């Protein structure tokens, strides 16, 4: 199926851990509450009104809201609920990439045409999730992964939004701040602001060559594409189980940016050396982070084609970490390269296709 006919849906469960606890304990409904122990894992929407957010310490959260209710995490329960949601989706289609326990991308190309409209499909999907779990989710439908992801944020919680075309996408984002783009973390946003690029529309004055000169080839080309709604990455519905990587556990938790940078560089050096020595290129990078309350966070980035470009892989690793805004108290870091392809066989295929 051509990219022109692609329709992608992104679903995101609303305040998932907190919502499960409220569902199972109705007396928590309408009250500011968080899930976590020393670190906020998830905050209810009532708690978020006080400025409370994930990765914040519970101590800080209680200062913002003295009446805050703190509920310990029941990870087994959340995993069970998430598995039920994923099974529901898999009954609809197997063209799914589950990005985390509470969100995923679904290729609904062709499937959505069986329904009266994309709006109808989104409403039916949200209702089906609610009927089976008594939980709400937000849905975005777009012409690629990027537009679907951004659409799911627009009417959150419990709503949906649809981007029908790149033109509509650009028209929507042009007057928004640059941080609206997934992948532009706080550091990159600050860097852009220092250069007087505050809104997306400010960036349209730059050519791709100028962006590559200012921000590096990989990041510059990426930025030029995403602000125009260009994203060629596809749904990875067959994630590879084979991976190469390393992780380190720290008996004294890491607390400073310098410590994070040092440990990430060390992990990357060892993992990348193994990747190259085994003759592989990879399609995705995954990071693993365990914070001080022992919650484990994993995040991945998938590339449009396999690579062993050290700069590209290192940048993906750092971006995944920075975008999470993780607490300054970390007990474990890990990085893995997945979707492995033997470099020699990949080159053989390319040679064959090009007639060499």
Distances (CA, A) of 116 to 124, 236, 345: 11, 27, 45
Return the percent helix, strand and coil in the chain, to nearest 5: 45, 25, 30
Which 8-state DSSP code applies to residue 195? Answer: T
Residue 210 a catalytic site member: no
CA 157 and chain centroid, separation: 17
Number of neighbouring beta carbons within 10 Å of residue 3: 11
Contact 198, 176 (CB under 8 A): no
Both tokens assigned to 330: 């970390």
Which 8-state DSSP code applies to residue 98? Answer: E
Catalytic position from the list 27, 103, 201, 247: 103
* 29 burial type by CB count under 10 A (0-12 exposed, 13-18 middle, 19+ buried): exposed
DSSP string, 5-40: G--EEEEEETTHHHHHHHHH-GGGTTS-EEEESSBE
Using DSSP, state whether 207 is helix, strand or coil: coil
Residue 102 CA to residue 16 CA, distance in Å, equals: 7
- In sequence order, the 6+-apart residues with CB closer than 8 A to the CB of 47 are 18, 32, 33, 34, 61, 65, 68
- Residues annotated as catalytic are 103
């Amino acid at each position: 199926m051509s990219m022109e006919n692609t329709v992608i849906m992104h679903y995101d469960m609303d305040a998932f851990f907190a919502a499960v606890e409220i569902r199972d304990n109705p007396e928590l409904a309408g009250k500011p509450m968080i899930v976590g122990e020393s670190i906020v894992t998830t905050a209810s929407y009532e708690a978020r009104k006080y400025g409370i957010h994930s990765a914040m310490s519970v101590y800080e959260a209680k200062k913002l809201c003295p009446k805050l209710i703190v509920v310990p995490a029941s990870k087994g329960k959340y995993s069970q609920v998430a598995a039920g949601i994923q099974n529901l989706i898999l009954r609809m289609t197997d063209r799914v990439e589950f990005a985390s326990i509470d969100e995923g991308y679904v290729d609904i190309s062709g499937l959505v045409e069986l329904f009266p409209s994309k709006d109808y499909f989104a409403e039916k999907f949200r209702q089906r999730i609610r009927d089976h779990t008594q939980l709400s989710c937000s849905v975005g439908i777009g012409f690629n992964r990027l537009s679907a992801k951004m659409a799911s944020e627009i009417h959150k919680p419990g709503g949906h939004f649809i981007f029908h075309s790149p033109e509509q996408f650009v028209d929507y984002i042009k007057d928004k701040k640059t941080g609206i783009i997934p992948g532009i973390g706080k550091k990159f946003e600050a860097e852009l602001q220092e250069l007087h690029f505050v809104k997306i529309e400010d960036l349209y004055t730059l050519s791709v060559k100028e962006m590559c000169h200012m921000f590096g080839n990989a990041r510059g080309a990426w930025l030029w594409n995403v602000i125009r709604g260009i994203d060629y990455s596809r749904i990875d519905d067959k994630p590879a189980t084979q991976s190469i990587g390393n992780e380190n556990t720290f008996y004294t938790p890491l607390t400073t940016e310098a410590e994070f940078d040092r440990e990430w560089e060390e992990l990357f050096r060892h993992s990348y050396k193994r990747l190259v020595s085994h003759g592989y290129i990879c399609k995705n990078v995954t990071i693993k982070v365990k914070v001080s309350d022992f919650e484990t966070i994993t995040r991945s980035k998938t590339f449009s084609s396999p690579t062993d470009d050290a700069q590209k892989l290192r940048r993906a690793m750092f971006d995944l970490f920075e975008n999470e805004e993780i607490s300054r108290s970390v007990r474990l870091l890990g990085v893995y390269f997945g979707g492995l392809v033997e470099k020699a066989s990949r080159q053989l295929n390319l040679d064959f296709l090009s007639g060499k």
